[in-house]
Structures are given as C-alpha cells and as structure tokens.
Amino acid sequence: MATLEAPRIVTARLEYEDSHTLARFLATGGYDGLRKALSMHPEEVALEVDKASLLGRGGAGFPAGRKWSMLRKSQLAYLVVNGDESEPATFKDHLLLERDPNEVIEGIIISAYALQVNQVFLFLRGEFALGLERVQQAVNDAYQQGALGSKIFGSDFSLDIVVHPGAGAYICGDETGLLEALEGKRGFPRIKPPFFPAVSGFYGEPTVVNNVETMANIPWIVVHGGDAFAALGAGRSTGTRLFALAGRVKNPGVFEIEMVKNTFRDLIYDPALGGGLLDGRTIKAFMPGGASAPWFAPEQLDVPLGQDEVAEQHSMLGSGSVVVFDDTTCVVRAAWRITKFFARESCGQCTPCREGSGWVERVMYRMENGGGRMEDLDLLLDLCDNIAPGLTWPPQQTTICPLGPSIPSPITSAISMFRDEFVQHVQLGGCPFD
C-alpha cells in the first residue's frame, strides 16, 4: 500500500477549481512564505533551503541549496527559472503553471531574495499558451499586491520578473541551451567547462537556473522550516515529489507523493494513484524517469521512488515521469518512437548525436516496418556504442550536452530485455503486434 500521509507541499491548492486565481491564493496562505522570508536575513532563508536538502526537480537532481551557495560567493547577476518542460511524458510543471502560478511566482520571489538577485527571467515553454497567460496574470497580480517591483512589502528588496516565452525546442530544457535562447539565439547548449551558469551564465554573468517545481517547494519550506521538509522522504531524497504517470494505466496523471516511502508498484497500482493497468493487463516494462532513462522490468517494481535508490538499479529518476508498457505494447515501436524524438530534437552541434540519432532511427524504423535483418541487432548496438562508448550507465559523455548520450538508453534497454521480440520482427518481416 502506498504511503499517502505526507502533506501536499506543492499541490495543496489544486483541490479548488479556481486554484489559479489571486483570490484563492490569498485565501489559502498566499505570500505567507514571502512575508516570513522578508522578515529573515537572506542568508537564513538560504540556510533553510540548505537544511531541506531539496534536490532540483528538473531532472539532474542537483541539491538546490548547494547550487545557491556556489553563487553566494560571487556577485550574483541573474536567476533564471526553467519552465521549458518538454521531456516526453513529463507534465508536472505544466500542471503547476496552469493551476497554481501564484505559488511558483512566490517561490521565485523568495529565492531571488535569498540570492539577492533583482532580475529574474522565467523561461516558459512556448506551447503552454494558457500557462503563459496565467503566469503573466500572476506576475501582474504580484505587482498589484506589492509583492513585486520596488520595495516589496515595504522592505528594501526590489525585484522584476520577466516572463519569456520559448518557441518549441526540446534542447532549450538544457540550462545552457535555455540561456542561449534567452539571449535571442538558436538554443545550442554551451560546453561545460567553462560555461557553468554559476560562473558564466546569462550574458556571461553568474546565473542560477532552477526548475519550476523546485521554486514551487520554496514557500512551504520557508513557512514550515527546512527540517520539516527534510523529515519527509529518506536519505538524499527528501520531501515529496511530483510524479507524472502515463502510458497503459487506468488513471494517468500527476501525483505528489513522499519520496522513497513509496515504490513504483505503489505509484502504478494503488487505487488512489495509478489504479493498475488498463483492462487488467499485465505490465511488460516501464520507463522510470523520462526518455533518457534505461527501462525497468516488472521485477523492479518494488524499487523505492528515490534518486539514489533508482540510480543503484542503473537508471535514473530524472524528471519524475513514469511510462508503463503492457503486454500489447510493441517495444520495438516504443523504442523507435523515442529515438525519432531524439533525432528530431538533436540541435546538430555534435556529430555523434546529429548523425547517430538519424542512423539509429532509420535502422529502428526498418526493423519495425518489415525491413529488419538479423545483423541489425549488432549494428544498432555498434551505433549506440559509437554515440556513448562502452554503453555504460551513466553514459560516457561524447557531446556538449546530455542529449546525445541519452539516445542509446531505450534501444539498449529494448534489445537487452526483449531480444526475442526483435528476432520475431525480422523473422516475420513485420510487427507481430500489427
């Protein structure tokens, strides 16, 4: 059974139909965190976030407090918030931006105060038309309420937030690609080193880039204290987290549950969460953390939903999206579609990614559509090995950003777990599921 006693930290307001409005926000403790933060020293606010040991919710899972402390030593210039959510089957930031934009904005204001930044750019995915409108409204409301602008709530702290729409490019989810887009260029990721945003970010100035969900946690942490947050979860994975569940389940959606205390089985089968598989089918495999994460087999259903716990099993929790395959799912088709996504979204800077993704996609396509050959299995693995030598986890970095080395994951997963199915495709000259 799932452990569901933990408080709702970022989705508490979502039970209300009008959760996105200023009236509901103010009636349910809106700006309480901000008022409390402004009565504290900025260092104290940062300390609470440090104590919470909040891991960044974007995908890499870097501790937010540590990210901030790297910056406090330098004269900080910018805070940039990453709302360019495009990871396949990840839809948690979308939910927050549309349903509780005020909470996100409050979190950003508090974070900017802790970091003593006076300028924030909130980069949102362009396809979120409604989210963009609601976030802009929340920013307007914050100015109106005196929570933004000069001398916030009578303090000495002033802040401006600019809502910046993206224009449809997965690669801008990478923080350095995002900064390039914010500078008005193609979203080509920058090479690290030297371009660590903390050292040389927006316009070459020190910059913190945080995820939307990370920001949404901040007001609660300030109100209840970092220790209360750290008391939830276990080990390095503290607090609750939004998990986006999709695929062949009865009840897909975004669920806020305590980390580590619950397992993938709880998330997928608990009646209050995923509710089990569609039509009572059996699970074949699942993706534990986005398109780049190596797949899990049904035997790994009891792995706890924690960063290190999943890493121990040679995969990653990533962006918190879980996609379930059942016995009607053709894994060759599934792996091909993810590969097609990578091929389409490769920015084209680095050869292994630009060329490799296209090659692998074409071989996968012919495998699925009746043109597969026995030697294609070795060819696929060889191509993948060229993209990320050794096919290790985490993969060898051969490119500027992590997109390229992510390409092999679905293919090597599919081949190692379901080799028979590939052979069947070749022998049958087509897809057995068609």
Partner 1 sequence: MSHFRIDIRQRAEEVLALYPRPRSAMLPLLHLAQEQDGYVSEEGIAEVAQLTSTTPADVRGTALFYDMFHLEPVGRYVVGVCTNIACLLAGGEKLLAHASASLGCPVGSTSSDGMFTLEETECLADCDYAPCVQVNHRYVRTTTPDAFDAVVAELRAGKLNHEVPHHGTLIRVQRSGGLHAPRAEVAEQRAVAKAERAKREETAK
Nearer to partner 1, 143 or 227 (CB): 143
| Rounded CA separation 270/371 (Å) | 41
CB of residue 234 to partner 1, shortest distance in Å: 28
Crossing angle between the packed helical segments 408-417 and 376-387, to the nearest 10 degrees = 140
Burial 7-39 (b: 16+ CB within 10 A, else e): eebbbbbbeeeebbbbebbeebebbebbbebbe
| Rounded CA separation 418/402 (Å) | 26
Nearer to partner 1, 304 or 318 (CB): 318
CB of residue 145 to partner 1, shortest distance in Å: 10
Find the angle CA(62)-CA(179)-CA(402) to the nearest 5 degrees: 50
CB of residue 326 to partner 1, shortest distance in Å: 8
State the DSSP string of 163-222.
EEE--S-GGGGSHHHHHHHHTTS--PPPPTTT--TTTS-GGGS-EEEEEHHHHHHHHHHH
For 61, the token pair is 């899972």
Nearer to partner 1, 23 or 130 (CB): 130
The 10 Å Cβ neighbour count of residue 148 is 23
Nearer to partner 1, 41 or 185 (CB): 185
Where is 381: in which H helix or E strand?
A: helix 376-387
Nearer to partner 1, 137 or 386 (CB): 137
Q: Which residues of the shown chain bind partner 1 in the complex (CB under 8 A)? A: 85-91, 93-94, 119, 125-130, 132-134, 136-137, 139-140, 142-144, 148-149, 160-170, 181-187, 203, 244, 246-248, 252-254, 287, 291, 321, 323, 325, 329, 333-334, 337-338, 341, 344-345, 347
The set of residues, in sequence order, having a beta carbon less than 8 Å from that of 139 and lying 6+ positions away, is 105, 122, 148, 161, 163
CB of residue 217 to partner 1, shortest distance in Å: 19
CB of residue 187 to partner 1, shortest distance in Å: 7
Give me the sheet containing 78-83, strands edge to edge.
160-165, 119-124, 78-83, 207-211
CB of residue 235 to partner 1, shortest distance in Å: 29
Nearer to partner 1, 57 or 248 (CB): 248
CB of residue 353 to partner 1, shortest distance in Å: 15
Nearer to partner 1, 180 or 309 (CB): 180
